[in-house]
Structure 1
């Protein structure tokens, strides 16, 4: 345990040193100082602030002020539009809405960040392959955590049917309000994709076949009814249930892996290790940096975004547990030394499906949540109204 995390700290430190060297390539000269406002959600890892501090240390005339906006995923659009900013750190589902409203300006990357194809697809300007509405800061995908107590035993990644049958699984399959609704939507979509990967295709096109949805969600409804799933509403409560109950399986994002693995190795003698595997088909997540259309400092904002999303930055974020959006970070020897599981994350990202890439996504998510929650927890059948509401939201 000591050796592993000492090595993690050493490599992270080396990556940080490399970032400082890279940052000198983004030096700009100005006659008057400028402060750029970066509007973003919280980051409990501290990785984003480390990158910002690096930039500010080397660019005293062009500094970044981070404004953390207290919002859930679903009310982020409203909260962010109330915040004057030069740069927005947008959840992937909000990019089309910001673009349609004319609130962000297209950016042409000045670096080669070799984006994985699903990540590239959700950020590109349609019919303009060189332009992006936002440049990916990190990506994300749902992963299956497995608690291993005997390394000698056969440990093949299970199917979701096997996971549900064992009754030792927790995930964000409940909701207690707007702050957790989107996690519920994502987790239910992943359960449906595990049964039928044609429910949502690689372009984010959703099926409007009622029969298809009924069949895809029936196993989850049965598992919940038989209490084979410990349904939680947030990532944090899911983690707590996984640890307190010593469950074998958990669905969560990869950013939690370093802390979960470290805690297991340090405090639970019966656990050999925590392993990650991809879900049958995960839902794509992540955040991307966009330049505000009305920023008076667009050139400087673009320079900051290039630095924060460049290959060295991706490698540093990976050392903190984030899923990199670009190929180069996954194949880097330093990253693999810090996070040997990154190849598993890459495979999951490349197979992930995006939620509908549409300005009407918030309405889609509301309708999806209302209908599926009633079906899963109140026993109300899915009717044609369900697919009609989804279709209307995406028109």
Structure 2
């Protein structure tokens, strides 16, 4: 344990030096100082804050001030618009809405940025080579599993198999109690449906409007919840606590939690290792940096975004648990030696599906959550009204 994490600490230091060295190319010389305002959600890892500190050290006349906006994914749009920001750190589902309403302007990608295709398409302007935002970090649903004996063969499971064959040993974000947990619920329900029928949501984020298909895809989940064969929590934090306190074998969660969970669980006598793998089809998410159409400092904002999304920045964010956006990070030998689970994250990103990328996504998600929650917990059948409601928002 000590040796493993001392190597990770060494990696963190090496990446920090590398980022600062690479940052020399991002130093700006200005006659008049400016302050860029970055509207962003809460940074629970410290990784994003570290990058902002580096930029500010290199550019004291073009500092970034983070305006942290506590919000759920659902209400991010309204709350971000209440800020006087130059840069928005947008959840990818909000990019179409900000773009459709003229809130952000296209931004050029650095020519040497090796974006993963699955990541890039979430921020790309449809039908063009332009981007509405530059991916800052990506995210994808992962299947965690506890290993008690590394000498025993342990082939990667499937989500479908876990739900069907491991009663009482799985927990995910399959409950919701408020707007703050609705989005996690929507994502988990979509992943459960994909585990049964991978045509329910296409690689381009096009949702099926076939009622029979939805009934068949969600039937096994409804049965498992009714029989209490799986754990259903509201939100990622509660899911983590249940997985750890109950010593469960499987959990669905995001990769950003892996470093902390791995570190804590390895101290337990009966846990040999925590592994992460694909679902096999997870929902891709993440945050991207966009320039506000109201910003008077677009050139400086674009330079700052280039720094914050560079390969070296991605390597540092990976140390904090974030899933990188660029292929270069996934094939970096030093990173893979210290954080081998990053390879599994790459496979999960490549096999992922996006949520419907539509400016009406927020209303779609609200209705989707209402209908599916009533079906899963109240026994209310999925009806044609479910299809009509979601089709109205995405049509």
TM-score bin, normalised by smaller chain: over 0.9
For 1:385 and 1:67, the matched residues in 2 are separated by 41
Compute the displacement of 1:338 (Å).
2.5
Alignment of 1:48-197 (within 5 A): 48-129=48-129, 131-164=130-163, 165-167=165-167, 168-197=169-198
Compute the displacement of 1:116 (Å).
1.0
Structure 2 counterpart of 1:219: 220
Give SS of 1:124's match: coil
Give SS of 2:248's match: coil
Normalising by structure 1, report the TM-score: 0.98
Compute the displacement of 1:162 (Å).
2.5
Compute the displacement of 1:337 (Å).
2.2
Normalising by structure 2, report the TM-score: 0.98
CA offsets 1:174-232 (integer angstroms, 9 cap, x no match): 00010000000000000000000100001100000000000000010010011011100
Contact kept in structure 2, 1:111 and 1:306, CA below 8 Å: no
For 1:314 and 1:342, the matched residues in 2 are separated by 12
Give SS of 1:170's match: strand
For 1:296 and 1:338, the matched residues in 2 are separated by 42
Contact kept in structure 1, 2:330 and 2:336, CA below 8 Å: yes
For 2:32 and 2:337, the matched residues in 1 are separated by 43
For 2:113 and 2:319, the matched residues in 1 are separated by 17
Structure 1 counterpart of 2:329: 329
CA offsets 1:271-324 (integer angstroms, 9 cap, x no match): 000001100210011000000011000000000000000110001101111100
CA offsets 1:29-74 (integer angstroms, 9 cap, x no match): 1111100000000111100010000000010100000011010000
Contact kept in structure 2, 1:8 and 1:337, CA below 8 Å: no
Structure 2 counterpart of 1:42: 42
Compute the displacement of 1:160 (Å).
2.2
For 1:171 and 1:263, the matched residues in 2 are separated by 19
Give SS of 1:208's match: coil
Contact kept in structure 2, 1:319 and 1:338, CA below 8 Å: no
For 2:330 and 2:187, the matched residues in 1 are separated by 25
**Which runs of 5 or more residues in structure 1 are unaligned?**
none
Number of residue pairs the alignment of both structures matches: 393
CA offsets 1:102-140 (integer angstroms, 9 cap, x no match): 0001001124221111111111112221x1100000000
Structure 1 counterpart of 2:359: 359
Give SS of 1:260's match: helix
Compute the displacement of 1:159 (Å).
2.3
Alignment of 1:272-351 (within 5 A): 272-351=272-351
For 1:159 and 1:44, the matched residues in 2 are separated by 29
Structure 2 counterpart of 1:260: 261
For 1:273 and 1:171, the matched residues in 2 are separated by 20
Contact kept in structure 1, 2:134 and 2:290, CA below 8 Å: yes
Contact kept in structure 2, 1:111 and 1:310, CA below 8 Å: no
Contact kept in structure 2, 1:12 and 1:338, CA below 8 Å: no
Give SS of 2:38's match: strand
Alignment of 1:192-203 (within 5 A): 192-203=193-204
Q: Cα RMSD between the aligned structures?
A: 0.8
Give SS of 1:343's match: helix
Compute the displacement of 1:368 (Å).
0.5
For 2:158 and 2:322, the matched residues in 1 are separated by 25
Structure 2 counterpart of 1:238: 239
Contact kept in structure 2, 1:74 and 1:179, CA below 8 Å: yes
Runs ≥4 residues deviating over 4 A? none
